[in-house]
Structure 1
Amino acid sequence: MSLSSNKRLSILPGETGRFAGILSGVILLLAVLPILTMIVMSFSGASNLDFPPSSYSLQWYRAAWHTFVSPDASDVLSLGKAMTTSLLVACLTMVLATLVAVPAAYALVRCEFRGKALALQLMSLPLVFPMVVLGLALLLVFDSLPLQMSFSRLVIAHVILALPFVVKNCTAAMLSIGSEVEEAAQMLGASPQRAILDVVVPLMKSGILAGMLLAFIVSFNEFTVTYFLYTIDVMTVPIWMYSRTVSSLDPTVFSFAVLIVLIDFVLIWALEKLVGEGGVSF
């Protein structure tokens, strides 16, 4: 067969043409370009923020480390306290969302009840609801309560945002588990509750862990809703970083942002490994 005939052959399934490959590369480049720009700027050796930098150094990383270990007296809240708040809120969000999502996923898959379709739609509502409107609505609700809530309202808001991700993953894991496994466990003497805890939940492990990681990532990086609910004493890392850019852009923010990207990268890598080993994604 001649070379010209080979060129006329159609592309086989699973193969991509040159145009598709170039288009995919351009889209990928546009997606990562802001992150690459931020990383390059974090190594700038200049005192201004010109791009590309005229020189490179680690001065902003040294300044960021100094800010972390010896915060300025003018800072209302240190980065260490903000990081502690972010980690606590993310961990509590992860645990609480999972405790709600596992029984919810079981009920949505195994049970038939009136309003099931509506429940599924409402569960996904935070994914499409405007974050600004949601943050304002939650602020009005919490301010109308007689209780003084600062830390807890951040946790509640983040659970609302993360719950759809955990429910979707747990539901997908439940769909792959046939009801015969529970019936077999009950025939062997297990109660319905023990069959769920000892058989169903372990089989949902990959979906549960994937949902937990997504809940942590969503909570740790959440800014819009948190902006309406934070207080001067309870502030997450994204809010703290934003506060460093209000009056003038602090170049150390780029160094802190690289740290956040590294944390997210590790979590996403762990999530991808989990998905590759039989987990589910959303």
Structure 2
Amino acid sequence: MSNLLKSLFRGAAPLPGETGRFAMGLSGVILLLAVLPILTMIVMSFSGASNLDFPPASYSLQWYQAAWNTFVSPDASDVLSLGQAFTTSLLVATLSMLFATLIAVPAAYALVRCEFRGKAAALQLMSLPLVFPMVVLGLALLLIFDSLPFQLNTSRLVIAHVILALPFVVRNCTAAMLSIGSEVEEAAKMLGASPLRAIVDVVVPLMRSGILAGMLLAFIISFNEFTVTYFLYNIDVMTVPIWMYSRTVSSLDPTVFSFAVLIVLIDFALIWALEKLVGEGGVSF
């Protein structure tokens, strides 16, 4: 019986470098489960009905037309248009990416090149946002910002998103630093460069793949962040995920699927650019 089961799942013994039928089938099932929500969302965005029945009884582009109208001007139930929320998301994501990179590059250099007390603790603290509950983090940041004597609007979102994206940028920059030997800096110093000039002109260009990977990951994380943003946004500063959530709370508007398709296309383009620019070897999640 055991031999029979093995023959059914495995078939002929695969050659080195090949996969068996069971492995291929399992991979196909996992891939289907991963893309099924996205495929469902795409199908529903072309629905010709006014409700969310699946599968749709008819198909049309009416919800994309409604999405464009909403992008340009807000509905009566909306305080801000999608265009304003999209502009805020781009601004916050860009600033978060830049600030996280400016912090991560020297931090990665110090973690790799320097020896100091508490280095292991610093490495652990850098990774803390990866495992910290997002709801608790959002609530803690809300209490901190509300206790300040001055008001922060967009800045509070940027600070929160930098905290969330920083571990990813540091990990990628650190991975790039580990591949750079100290002899390149020594050679630059022997040729007359100052220590700072050696880092800026020699080390940083060699970290290019890790820096680019970290920057794009930071942008993607910030652009799609919802949980922490939900605690920190206000009615005048609203990102795209928060705006979409507000539409689903008031009513199950099918235009949300059209907006979601746009977000997926943006994320797909960024991930494609990430792989083309630095390759899979330069990315650390």
* TM-score, L = length of structure 1: 0.95
The aligned amino acid for 2:97 is M
Q: Which residue of 2 aligns with 1:33?
A: 36
Decide which of 87, 93, 109 is 1:84's aligned counterpart.
87
Q: Which residue of 1 aligns with 2:186?
A: 183
Q: In the aligned structure 2, how far is the partner of 1:233 from the partner of 1:140? A: 20
- Is 1:101–1:167's contact at 8 Å kept on the other side of the alignment? yes
| 2:205 paired with 1:209 | no
Q: Which residue of 2 aligns with 1:139?
A: 142
| 2:236 paired with 1:240 | no
Change (3 A) 1:8 1:44: closer
Q: Which residue of 2 aligns with 1:252?
A: 255
Which sections of structure 2, spanning at least 5 residues, go unmatched? 1-6
Change (3 A) 1:35 1:172: same
The aligned amino acid for 1:276 is G
- Is 2:111–2:174's contact at 8 Å kept on the other side of the alignment? yes
Q: In the aligned structure 1, how far is the partner of 2:283 from the partner of 2:186? A: 25
Query: How far 1:83 sits from its partner (Å)?
Result: 0.6
Q: Which residue of 2 aligns with 1:159?
A: 162
- Is 1:173–1:280's contact at 8 Å kept on the other side of the alignment? no
Q: In the aligned structure 2, how far is the partner of 1:10 from the partner of 1:25? A: 20
Which sections of structure 1, spanning at least 5 residues, go unmatched? none
Query: How far 1:8 sits from its partner (Å)?
Result: 8.1
Decide which of 253, 258, 261 is 2:264's aligned counterpart.
261
Decide which of 264, 271, 274 is 2:274's aligned counterpart.
271
Decide which of 59, 72, 84 is 2:75's aligned counterpart.
72
The aligned amino acid for 1:116 is K
Query: How far 1:9 sits from its partner (Å)?
Result: 6.4
The aligned amino acid for 1:11 is P
Identity score, percent: 89
- 1:245 is paired with a residue whose SS is helix
Q: Which residue of 2 aligns with 1:170?
A: 173
Q: Which residue of 2 aligns with 1:100?
A: 103
- Is 2:168–2:218's contact at 8 Å kept on the other side of the alignment? yes
Q: In the aligned structure 2, how far is the partner of 1:187 from the partner of 1:89? A: 42
Q: In the aligned structure 1, how far is the partner of 2:103 from the partner of 2:61? A: 45
- Is 1:93–1:155's contact at 8 Å kept on the other side of the alignment? yes
The aligned amino acid for 2:170 is V
Q: In the aligned structure 2, how far is the partner of 1:8 from the partner of 1:23? A: 14
| 2:59 paired with 1:56 | yes
- Is 1:207–1:279's contact at 8 Å kept on the other side of the alignment? yes
Q: Which residue of 1 aligns with 2:16?
A: 13
Q: In the aligned structure 2, how far is the partner of 1:21 from the partner of 1:213? A: 31
Change (3 A) 1:55 1:8: closer
- Is 2:72–2:81's contact at 8 Å kept on the other side of the alignment? no
The aligned amino acid for 1:111 is C
Between 190-199 and 72-81, report the one with greater CA deviation. 72-81
The aligned amino acid for 1:96 is F
Give CA-to-partner distance per residue, 1:130-167, whole Å, 9 cap, x none: 10111011111111111101110000000000000000
Cα RMSD between the aligned structures? 1.5
Query: How far 1:38 sits from its partner (Å)?
Result: 0.4
